[in-house]
Structure 1
Amino acid sequence: MASVSVAQAAERLGVSVPRIHQRIADGSLSAERIGAQWVVDERSLLRIQERSKAGRPLSARSAWAVIALAENDRDRLRPSGPAASARARLQLDRLLDPAVAPPAKEEVVSDLAVSLRSVFRNRAQRRLFRGAPADLDDLRADERWKMIVDLGASGIASAGVEGYLGEADVDAVLKDYLLVEADRDANVVLHVISDGQYPFPESRLRLAADLAEHRGPREGARAAELLHELALEWNAAER
């Protein structure tokens, strides 16, 4: 993705240039120095802009309750209690209502992707790493994964590895495969969840959230399509 100047970043966020330099220094904005000037990664800038506009994300427990409801998994939803179930239904209705119409326009697709990222941000801690390409097949087959994300099933080609991993297994997996923190060249995406959390492997809603977090046009479009499919099915079931 493109980069922007510090002055442009300050204008877009509505803050001062020194504030942008502070964000670069504390790591909340990704940037690199080119000659005597800093340039800000636009993807990092968009994340901050989006979070300032988006509503408050759900807690991890509430996010998974919405996914359980979308899967009609009453057994996993029941322990949350009737009040939590009612809140999950309200949140799911709010998420799916704008997706009832086919997402034909780019602006609609973008808005749906933003909603997915906002609502489900806390379902897991998303961490990006770089691993040796020769190790990726072994990493993908590792039994410690709670669930591997199959982007290929959605028609999105991916040479990397993406999946859900319990907190207790993270350090060992990082060590065993010598994974290093990365950003632009990441080929491993870890969604770190609480130990014991069921990741709903067949959930299209969870997959839509995974796709939306990639922030690419194809991934966003497919996420919007999945949300549209779910909206139609949800409405039909409610009649």
Structure 2
Amino acid sequence: MGAVSVAQAAERLGVSVPRVHQRIADGSLVAERIGSQWVVDERSLLHVQERARPGRPLSPRSAWAVVAASEGDRERLRHSGPAASSRARVQLSRLLEPAIDPAADEAAVRDLAVSLRSVFRNRAQRRLLRASPADLADLRADDRWAMIVDLGTAGIASADVEGYLRASDCDLLKDYLLVEADHDANVVLHVIADEQHPFPDSRLRLAADLAEHRGPREEARAAELLHELAREWQAAER
């Protein structure tokens, strides 16, 4: 993705130019000064636009219930109670319905990725971190990870480390001297409650992880995974 002018950013957000400058100053919009003008990072702008969309993301418990429903995990759904289980199935159906047909173009892919990010935003605390490249192999092999997201098996080659970590295991950050990062992050950490199962083989969970990378290849693969699940869901409901 590229960059847009402050005026274009203001138009897309439906706010004034001074308000965009305020967002740049407080760090909620990533921008770069080129000469006498600011240009706004388009990925950062999309992130703000999505946050402003109507509708609430699901709570962590509800989000994981939808994942459980996609896996047909009746045991974990049963712990949620009959009402929550029924809601999870309805929410899953709403999420999958637009993906029954393959995404026709980039706009359709983006819409599916936005839905994934919106629905599953609260499933975990997502942290972008930086590790020494020399430590990545040891970090990837550390058995404290609840699950490693292998983007290679998802069809996306990546040298980065991504995984789910239970809150009580966050001493891993100190052990590997991980520091908060942004554009140069090489570790993506999803922190979940100790009792939460991360569903390591879930395609829906993987699709949500990929969508959060916001790259065109990752979003396209997320849309493909959602389409696979939608077709299976449709067949099972008949």
Same fold (TM over 0.5): yes
| Alpha-carbon distance between aligned partners in 2 of 1:114 and 1:81, rounded to the nearest angstrom | 29
**Per-residue Cα deviation, 1:62-121 (whole angstroms, up to 9, x for no partner):** 000000011011111111100001110110010111111122322221111111111111
CA apart distance, 1:35: 4.5
2:116 equivalent in structure 1: 116
2:213 equivalent in structure 1: 214
TM superposition outliers: structure 1 runs of 4+ over 3 Å: 32-38
**Per-residue Cα deviation, 1:137-193 (whole angstroms, up to 9, x for no partner):** 0111111111110111111000000000112222x2222212222111211101111
Q: Secondary structure at the match of 1:39?
A: strand
Amino acid at match of 2:186: N
- Structure 1, gaps ≥5 residues long: none
2:98 equivalent in structure 1: 98
| Alpha-carbon distance between aligned partners in 1 of 2:4 and 2:39, rounded to the nearest angstrom | 6
CA apart distance, 1:25: 2.6
Amino acid at match of 2:76: R
| Alpha-carbon distance between aligned partners in 2 of 1:173 and 1:3, rounded to the nearest angstrom | 36
- Structure 2, gaps ≥5 residues long: none
How high is the TM-score relative to the length of structure 2? 0.95
| Alpha-carbon distance between aligned partners in 2 of 1:182 and 1:40, rounded to the nearest angstrom | 19
Aligned pairs, number:
238
Q: Secondary structure at the match of 2:4?
A: strand
Q: Is the Cα contact below 8 Å between 1:54 and 1:114 reproduced in 2?
A: no
Task: Tell me, yes or no, if structure 1 residue 163 matches structure 2 residue 155.
Answer: no
User: How is 1:25-174 mapped onto 2 (pairs within 5 angstroms)?
Assistant: 25-53=25-53, 55-170=55-170, 172-174=171-173
Deviates more, 1:190-199 or 1:52-61: 52-61
Q: Is the Cα contact below 8 Å between 1:54 and 1:118 reproduced in 2?
A: no
Percentage identity across aligned positions? 79
CA apart distance, 1:17: 2.1
How high is the TM-score relative to the length of structure 1? 0.94
Amino acid at match of 1:77: L
Deviates more, 1:22-31 or 1:183-192: 22-31
Q: Secondary structure at the match of 1:107?
A: helix
